[in-house]
A and B are shown apart, each in its own frame.
Chain A
Amino acid sequence: MYDLNVCSHNREAYGRALVELGSTNPDVVVLDADLSTSTKTSIFAERFPERFIDVGIAEQNLLDIAAGLALSGKIPFVSTFSIFGCGRGWEQIRNTIAMDSINVNIVCTHAGLSLGGDGATHQALEDIAIMRAIPNMQVIVPADPVETRAVVQYAAAYQGPVYIRLSRRRSPHLFDAAGYRFDPKSYPVLREGDDVTILSTGNMIRKALKAAECLAEDGISAGVVNVHTIKPLARDAICSIAKKTPAIVTLEEHNVIGGLGSAVAECLVQDCPVPMRIIGVEDRFGCSGRVDELFEKFNLTPAHVAGVVKNLVRER
């Protein structure tokens, strides 16, 4: 059982997972663009300096160098902030990495609003959309440290490009290390519910669970499912959830255009239409502020989610 008050950084779990991989596989190499102490690739760099490549502040070069390493049999993990890796490097990812399904693992941190005070230039709210639109790309958002480790191991074993989205913020410990097994086709149910299911991802799972607790007090039974793999979306899993509960709400720290909500809607509208609401940032840029203030400003709070769910359930 999870405890929403015990939290740690998925980034650190990522850095430790890289060291584990590096210890057993000499082909694992790690690249960064002068942000290693933030992305936590520094943990790998300390242990395996000869397999750590810092290219400086040059994200386009970063991604294509990784492609060259992968073409030569290496297993590169590439990290920087999400806005720069996915944004500045989008065409490199599309044309050099994804087009040939080259085995580059792109792990970007500080996604969503999590850079708070740094403001809009550093807040990635479109990364899921732009990565998801590229053929061959997988898009995965782990929710806690245990899942992060498992996803990193999955990416290392999978032949082809993967985008892994991490936050700057801490995540609650949701899974037990001994029992957790990552399966991209199956989404962990964190809370059962009969009236509605909230599908969420990454750090927003915590808010989804809190919203479900609020809703229970009002007599609404809301389930919470962790949709870690946004592409390829496990459509069968999404449909079977939609058949169990008569309404679906998605919650993500991302623009409402193109992210988790869009992916789920694309599936449900074609395969299993049910009443649905998409909660995220409403097609706006972020701004400076403490992250908790930003969540209030952009309506990413348990209270807002509970309100949306109530309206949806009552409309039916």
Chain B
Amino acid sequence: MESGNYDNLNEIATRLRRHILEMTARAGSGHYMSSFSCVEILAALYFQEMQVRPDDPAWPGRDRFVLGKGHAAPALYAVLAERGYFPVPELMTLRQVGSRLQGHPVKSYGLPGLDASSGSLGQGISTAVGIALAAQLDGADWRVFVLLGDGECQEGQVWEAAMAAAHFKCDNLVVIVDYNALQSTGTLDEIMSLGDLRAKWEAFGWSVTEARGHDFGSLQDALAGARARKGMPHLILAHTMKGHGVPFIEGNLEYHSKPLSADELAGALHALEVRH
């Protein structure tokens, strides 16, 4: 894809949000609001930044991705389907018994394109450090990308991994924090403030850049910076809006895990069309 072609990416993002709404409505559960928060980030990774081959999902030279905030699985599944890893209609099996689309990602169910299980918060970034170390051992040039929730940064294990990635100079590791400032039951500052998150990551020895998380140009700039800088792991603080794309859901925690009614679903789908 050519850089700067953001119309196309914005169209993809709208399709992803539509899938997310439809699949979570069909399932009667699922975190569409957290998924909306990271739609552009995932699209930027899978349609622009990452070297992948959807027709050869296990290609050894591929870039890897770990969804730390596994509850945004609907967004990841939607982007994998749109990218061509598996047929889009399979999205409608989300959360059904036997589906390859488990509520949180489980690799052993065999979904093409899924590099690691995740969902127990804090574990994905450590797994990604292990993947990055394997690439170092092999002298391979593929990279590992992780999407962390901001609330996830309250897990102590995140900081164990942050320390290790800097210690081992994992410059092949790019972590993006979906910084929407909301968690399950309130704002981050109400529940457990992260303080100066940028300063924390910098103090741990990471190169840190900030981006507007729903703006493909801004994301692309941040990702390009991470590509260029060597010798340390990369952190992108992506400022986002939980529920972004549908006005009545945006920033409204009532919708963290509540199934949408038929009317709400119709209203949300309509809002996506209007906004686009």
Residues of B within 8 A of A70 (CB): 130
A22 CB to closest chain B CB, in angstroms?
13
Residues of A contacting B120 in the complex (Cβ-Cβ under 8 angstroms): 91, 95-96
**By CB atoms of chain B within 10 A, which of A60, A64, A70, A99 has the most?**
A64
Q: Return chain A residues, CB-CB under 8 Å to B107.
A: 71, 100
> Would you give the 0/1 interface string for A54-69, flagging 1 where the beta carbon is closer than 8 Å to chain B?
0110101101111111
Interface check B261, CB cutoff 8 A: no
- Give, as a whole number of angstroms, the nearest-CB distance from B64 to chain A: 8
Q: Does B180 reach chain A (CB closer than 8 Å)?
A: no
Q: Is B131 an interface residue (CB 8 A)?
A: yes
The CA-CA distance from A77 to B129 in the complex, in Å, is 16
The reply to whether B126 and A74 form a contact with Cβ atoms under 8 Å apart is: no
Residues of B within 8 A of A50 (CB): 137
B29 contacts chain A at the CB level, 8 A cutoff: no
Q: How far is the CB of A31 from chain B (nearest CB, A)?
A: 9
Contact A68 B123 (CB under 8 A): no
In the complex, whether A72 has a CB less than 8 A from a CB of chain B is yes
Q: A99, B130: Cβ atoms under 8 Å?
A: no
Cβ < 8 Å to A, chain B residues 112-155:
115-117, 119-120, 122-123, 126-135, 137-138
Partner of B164, one of A61, A72, A99: A61
Residues in chain B near residue A76, CB distance under 8 A: 130
Task: Please name all residues of chain A whose beta carbon is closer than 8 Å to the beta carbon of B116 when the two chains form the complex.
Answer: 67-68, 71, 96
- Bitwise, A165-190 to B at CB < 8 A (1) or not (0) is 00000000000000000000000000
A97 vs chain B, min Cβ distance (A): 10
Partner of A67, one of B108, B127, B157: B127
Cβ–Cβ contact A61 & B117, under 8 A? no
How many Å from the CB of A304 to the closest CB on chain B?
Answer: 42
- Expressed in whole angstroms, the minimum distance between the Cβ of B173 and any Cβ of chain A is 10
Q: Tell whether B56 is near chain A: CB-to-CB under 8 Å.
A: no
A95-B130 contact, Cβ under 8 Å, with A29-B137, A60-B157, A64-B157: no
Besides A51-B137, A61-B126, A92-B157, 18 more A-B contacts (Cβ < 8 Å) are: A29-B137, A55-B160, A61-B157, A63-B126, A64-B127, A65-B127, A65-B161, A67-B126, A67-B127, A68-B116, A68-B128, A68-B130, A68-B132, A69-B131, A96-B116, A99-B117, A100-B108, A101-B108
